[in-house]
Structure 1
C-alpha cells in the first residue's frame, strides 16, 4: 500500500542575470546555481528546480544540463525543471535529457511540464503560437507514452510519427516523475487530475487560498478517472525572501520585487508595482513569503492547510542583491523554516 505523500520544501529559480542592473553575467550565475544546489542539499531541502527561459535576462535555457552538473555534488535533493516549456520542445529529447539526469543523480530527476509564462521559445524553435493548445496536448501525450514505453509507436499533427523505435537511456525511476505546471488554468487542473499526475500551481499574486477551487477541480477529476486523490501530490511555487527579521526582509526585497514586476508589467500592460501592493502580498494571506523564519513557516502552514499541499517551492532568484543573501535565504529555509513546518505537520 502506498504511503500518503509527505510535505516537501524546496527552491525554484530562473537564474536571473541582468548585469546592467547590478546582477551578474550568465557564466557567474550558472556557477552560483551549483553552489545553491549543493547548499540546499546540505541544509535538508527536498527539491531544487530550474525554470526554462529563453530571454536575455535569464541563464536557464537548459535546466537539465545545469542540474546534471550539480548531480554528483549532491546526495538526496530532487532535481527538477520548473517548468519545461513542453509545447516548443521535443518530448523524446526531454525524456532523454531527464532520464540521463536521473541516471547521474541515482534516481532524483523530475520534469515539470508546462506551457511557460513567456512565448520566446515558440518562434525560436519554429512553432506557431496559433497552435498553442494543440502543441501542449499532443506533446504531453507523447512524453507520457515515452516515459512508460521503451519501444514507441506514435503519431500526431505537429511532430513526425515514430514507428516502434526505442528511446534511451531509460530512467532509473519507473516511471520518471512528471508534474503538470500551471498558472491557474482550470483546464490544466482537470487535465492533471484526469491523468493522475502531480500538479504545481504558480502563485505570484493575490491570495493563495483563492486556488482552493482549482485544487477541488483537480481532486474531483482524479476521482472520476479512478485515481485516489489523497495519494496525489499538490505543490505551489511563490516568491520569497527570508532574513533574521521581518523588517529586514521586507526592506531588502521590495526593490527587487518591484523591479521584476515592473519589467514584466511594461510588457504586459500591468500597473506600477507599489509599496502598498508589496505589503499586501506580504500579509499572512498574501502570495509573498517574505519575513523571518517563524513568519514564513506560518504562511507555508496556512497554504498547506488551505490547499492540501504536499510540496512548497520558494522562488528565491534576485540577482540585484548580493549572492550571500540568496544563500542565506536557502539556509534559513532549510535549517529554520523546514523544521517548524515538519514538526507542526507531524503533530496533526
Structure 2
C-alpha cells in the first residue's frame, strides 16, 4: 500500500506569510521519506480549503522544491474550466517537475462554486466526461476544435507539450456506487473518502469498480483506489484524541454550512453538536487517528477491502509543530504496511 499526503485546510489566518509553511515543510518530509504523492485540492469562495483555488499553482511551487513525490490535483473541478486551460496549466507543472503530474477529475457539487460557470451546473457530470476525452487528446498532442475571436472554427493544441506521453487520471467518487462503476468502465483510478460512506459500503463499491473495469476490457487489478483519511499518529490513542479533538471539531464546524448544502436534514442541528458527533465517528472508524499500532491495524483492514493508497489529510487544524512531529510516526505506519522495516534514522530525521 502507498501513502501520500493531502491538504484541505480551513484557512482563516491573521498571519498570511505563514499560510503555506506547513505545506512546504511536510511535503519536503514526504519527498525525502518515500511517500508516493501529495494531493492538492481546488476550492473556491469559502475558507474551508480556501488556500487552494488552483492546485496547479501550488503544484508548480512544490515542483521546484521536490524531486520524488508525485504532484496530484485532488481534484480539478472540470466543469469550471476549459480542458485547454487544464492541460496548459498542468503541462507546465509536468515540465517543471520532469513528469511527476497526475490529476483527479471531479464534477463539483457545491452550487456556489459554479459562480464561475453557472450554465454548467445542471449538466456538470456530462460535461466532465466530455471534457475527459479532450483532456486525454490534448495531453497526447492532438488538437481540439474551437471558435476564435472572429467567429471562425479553428483547431488548437495545448502548449507546452507535457513530459509524460499519457496522463494518469483519477475520478473523484464521494459515495455513489454509480460513480465507482463509471470510473471502472472508463479505466480511471478512484479518489474517495469515508465522509459519506462506511468501510462496508466502500468494500462493495470497490468490488463494483473492479467488476466494471473487467467488463470493459481494463485489467481489474491495475486500477488504483486512493482513500482520503484525516490523519494524526501519536504515541497512544488517548493522547491523540485529546490533542486533536478541539482543532478537528473546529475544523468540522467551519464546514457545516457546506454539509447543509448537501444534506437538508442537518438544518436546525447546532453546528458544534453536529461536529462533535462527527468527530466521534471519525475517531472510531473513519480516520487514521491514534497510535502507530491502531493506525497500522486500520490501514491493514482498508488494504483488505481493496484500497491501494491512503491519502493522509494532515492540515485539519492541529498545531504545525505537532503535525510535523507526528510525521515520522506516520512514516512508521507506512513502512510497516510496505514491509520496509525500521527507518535508518531516528524520529525527526
TM-score range, shorter chain: 0.7 to 0.9
Q: Could you say which residue in structure 2 is the equivalent of 1:240?
A: 231
Residue 4 (structure 1) aligns with: none
Where do 1:1-348 residues align within 5 Å?
7-19=1-13, 25-57=15-47, 58-148=50-140, 150-154=141-145, 163-204=154-195, 206-267=197-258, 268=260, 269=264, 270=266, 271=269, 272-273=273-274, 275=276, 277-283=278-284, 286-306=285-305, 308-319=306-317, 321-334=318-331, 336-343=332-339
For structure 1, the 5+ residue unaligned runs are: 1-6
Moved more, 266-275 or 221-230: 266-275
Write out per-residue CA displacement over residues 283-307 of structure 1, whole angstroms, 9 at most, x where no aligned residue: 3xx112100122111111111101x
Query: Match of 1:229, SS?
Result: coil
Match in the other structure for 1:3: none
| TM superposition shift of 1:155 | 7.3
Conserved in 2, the CA contact under 8 Å of 1:26 and 1:59? no
Q: Distance in 2 between matches of 1:242 and 1:324?
A: 13
1:137-158 C-alpha deviation (Å, 9 max, x unpaired):
222232222223x1213579xx
| Residue-by-residue CA offset, 1:198-256 (whole Å, 9 max, x unaligned) | 11112225532321121122111111111110122111112121222211111121222
Secondary structure at the residue paired with 1:174? coil
TM-score (structure 1 length as normaliser): 0.85
Task: Report the CA distance shift for 1:129/1:332 in structure 2 as closer, same or farther (over 3 A).
Answer: same
Cα offset, 1:260, TM superposition: 2.5
- State the Cα RMSD in Å: 2.5
Q: Is the 8 A contact 2:175 2:197 kept in 1?
A: no
Q: C-alpha distance in 2, partners of 1:253/1:103? A: 38
Note closer, same or farther for the CA distance 1:42–1:126 as it changes in structure 2 (3 Å cut).
same
Larger displacement relative to structure 2 (266-275 or 237-246): 266-275
Contact 1:15 1:59 in 2 (8 A): yes
Matched residues, number: 326
